Structure 1
Amino acid sequence: MTKEAIQNILSALDQEYGTTKVGFLHHADWQLLLAIMLSAQSTDKQVYEVLPKLWDRFTSIEQMAEAPVEEIEDYIKSIGLYKSKAKNMKQCCGQIISEYNSVVPRAIEELVKLAGVGRKSATLFLADAYGIPGVTVDTHVLRIAKRLGWANGNNPVQVEKELMQVLPKENWNRINFQLIYHGRSVCTARKCNCEKCLLSEWCEKKDCVSK
């Protein structure tokens, strides 16, 4: 794909979905990290609904680390996988306190050592908290990047590396939510819906089939 075509696609995505998104409610970096952890396999709406009461109760990282897991569960039980997430939230905060002097690390290699923090969550956190550029690859991004002809890899790490080569750095942080929105509304896993797609003019796989 030519650089012109790539830029046309990026401009179309900017116009359709915007360049910023509303972030999760938080008052400290550790709260943002936990909110991102909660969003895994859950909708943003579900996370938004639990955060106000959660942060009213847990105002410090120490409170979260010292709380019984059952109490944390009570605040997030409307979230998918809430039991495992509550356990990870408590353990993660304990790690940040004991290993990083209560400061969330800024290196992805350190973040992924924390309980419940995968590469996707770590990349999103670094982008939202510190503005560090990074490409976050979930199922929507992986699928659409391959359909567009931007990537050929079969796993998130491979596609992340390919997209960092293809896309301008200023687009890295927003390509995730733009392709998520596009993947939910138009280029779904079941059907490409090319006739409705604002990117079809430049897409290399217009006639793709569901995989």
Structure 2
Amino acid sequence: MKKAAPTKKAAPTKKATPAKRATAKKVSGKKAAPAKKATAKKASPAKKVIAKKPVVAPEKATAAVKGASPVRTVTPKPPTAESRTALVRRARRINRELAEVYPYAHPELDFDNPFQLLVATVLSAQTTDLRVNQTTPTLFAKYPTPEDLAAANPEEVEEILRPCGFFRAKTKSVMGLSKALVENHGGEVPGRLEDLVKLPGVGRKTAFVVLGNAFGRPGITVDTHFQRLVRRWQWTEQTDPDKIEAEIGALFPKSDWTDLSHHVIWHGRRICHARKPACGACPIAPLCPAYGEGETDPEKAKKLLKYEKGGFPGQRLKPPQAYLDAGGKPAPPLGAG
């Protein structure tokens, strides 16, 4: 008999690793060993974003600096999208306020008749009314009528008008309009706009000065002061004088046009200056969108106020501080005192 072949020994089983044991236990329903925690880097905390509060104009702005003069309280600026109704109300209120401040407002050119006013207004271009008032007495004493001025010696007229500046051009204009009055209107100043603007050196501005103040016919005088202020007050964005005249005229009754022109021009000459308006001494500061463009400190603003030397007949000159009354409200700069 053949011997049976020896059976091969089974290979020894390898010891199960802890991971495998854990797997086995899990399979058998036993609780698995807790897995090691992953060591992840801690994320840096996110920076807090602080939302900025929107800047809102206070209802009333006041100075809080110790020892400083208090700033005039003002309401917020009118919104850019101001309604038409709100604009009309604000514009008319400004005019009412200025009427109280300047109750004596009228043309600051001296004249006795429409011819003198027409000539004086033409001469006032690029110079002051005060300078014109110093020049016209000599001119009208020598040439009292259009006939006299039309027949004058140009060189003699130029010499008289030299202090007004641009005396050659102005001589040509006043002699030319005098000749036109004699030839076309019998030596009389016409009372119609269409006739006035045909005279040499006469535009719509000059025509409305004459119509409003010599004939009592309403008109808006759009001079440099008027243009600057109505744009500063956001009554219009136009730059052309004719368009400004049309837009401002639509905000007011026709009966207000002449006095409105005087109020605005007087305010522009005395308080609301081109370069540095005296905001701290302005009676319409709460209604002005441009408040703050100039000096807001009341004491410093008072020093910026201007007044015309010479005044009016029968009036006593007032110093700049007389603009403000005891309550701090601007008084008529050239009012009777």
Among 138, 141, 145, which residue is 1:56 paired with?
A: 141
Matching of residue 10 in structure 1 with residue 98 in structure 2: no
Distance in 1 between residues matched to 2:129 and 2:106, nearest whole Å: 11
Among 76, 79, 84, which residue is 2:161 paired with?
A: 76
| SS state at 1:78 partner | helix
TM-score (norm 2): 0.58
- C-alpha deviations, 1:27-66, integer Å up to 9, x for none? 4322221011111111111111112221111122111000
Within a 5 Å distance, the mapping from 1:135-154 to structure 2 comes to 135-154=220-239
- Structure 2 counterpart of 1:34: 119
Distance in 2 between residues matched to 1:192 and 1:27, nearest whole Å: 34
Distance in 1 between residues matched to 2:167 and 2:262, nearest whole Å: 23
Among 253, 258, 261, which residue is 1:168 paired with?
A: 253
Mean CA deviation greater in 180-189 or 68-77: 180-189
Mean CA deviation greater in 127-136 or 137-146: 137-146
Matching of residue 117 in structure 1 with residue 177 in structure 2: no
Q: CA RMSD in A?
A: 2.0
Distance in 1 between residues matched to 2:94 and 2:100, nearest whole Å: 10
Distance in 1 between residues matched to 2:252 and 2:290, nearest whole Å: 18
One-letter code aligned to 1:47: V
Distance in 1 between residues matched to 2:234 and 2:261, nearest whole Å: 16
One-letter code aligned to 2:159: D
Asked if structure 2 preserves the Cα contact closer than 8 Å seen for 1:133 and 1:170, the reply is yes
- Structure 2 counterpart of 1:203: 288
Mean CA deviation greater in 52-61 or 176-185: 176-185
Structure 1 pair 194/25, CA: closer, same or farther in 2 (3 Å)? closer
Identity of aligned residues (%): 33
- Structure 2 counterpart of 1:107: 192
| SS state at 1:206 partner | coil
Distance in 1 between residues matched to 2:146 and 2:250, nearest whole Å: 37
One-letter code aligned to 2:132: V
Distance in 2 between residues matched to 1:52 and 1:193, nearest whole Å: 34
Within a 5 Å distance, the mapping from 1:178-197 to structure 2 comes to 178-197=263-282
- C-alpha deviations, 1:131-187, integer Å up to 9, x for none? 110111112111211221211211111111011111232321122232222223332
Mean CA deviation greater in 180-189 or 90-99: 180-189
Distance in 1 between residues matched to 2:108 and 2:232, nearest whole Å: 28
TM-score (norm 1): 0.89
Among 97, 112, 118, which residue is 2:182 paired with?
A: 97
Q: After TM superposition, give the deviation of residue 7 of structure 1 in Å.
A: 3.2
Mean CA deviation greater in 134-143 or 15-24: 15-24
Asked if structure 1 preserves the Cα contact closer than 8 Å seen for 2:177 and 2:199, the reply is yes
User: After TM superposition, where is structure 1 displaced by more than 4 Å over at least 4 residues in a row?
Assistant: none
Q: After TM superposition, give the deviation of residue 192 of structure 1 in Å.
A: 4.2
Asked if structure 2 preserves the Cα contact closer than 8 Å seen for 1:147 and 1:208, the reply is no
- C-alpha deviations, 1:7-39, integer Å up to 9, x for none? 321121011122532553334322221011111
Asked if structure 2 preserves the Cα contact closer than 8 Å seen for 1:140 and 1:180, the reply is yes
Distance in 2 between residues matched to 1:142 and 1:74, nearest whole Å: 32
Q: After TM superposition, give the deviation of residue 5 of structure 1 in Å.
A: 2.7
Distance in 1 between residues matched to 2:122 and 2:182, nearest whole Å: 18
Greater relative contact order (CA < 8 Å, ≥ 6 in sequence): 1
One-letter code aligned to 1:57: K
Among 73, 86, 92, which residue is 2:171 paired with?
A: 86
More helix by share: 1
Distance in 1 between residues matched to 2:119 and 2:269, nearest whole Å: 24
Q: After TM superposition, give the deviation of residue 93 of structure 1 in Å.
A: 0.6
- Aligned pair count reads 209
Name which one, 1 or 2, has greater alpha-carbon Rg.
2
Unaligned residue ranges in structure 1 (runs of 5+): none
Asked if structure 1 preserves the Cα contact closer than 8 Å seen for 2:121 and 2:206, the reply is yes
Distance in 2 between residues matched to 1:139 and 1:69, nearest whole Å: 29
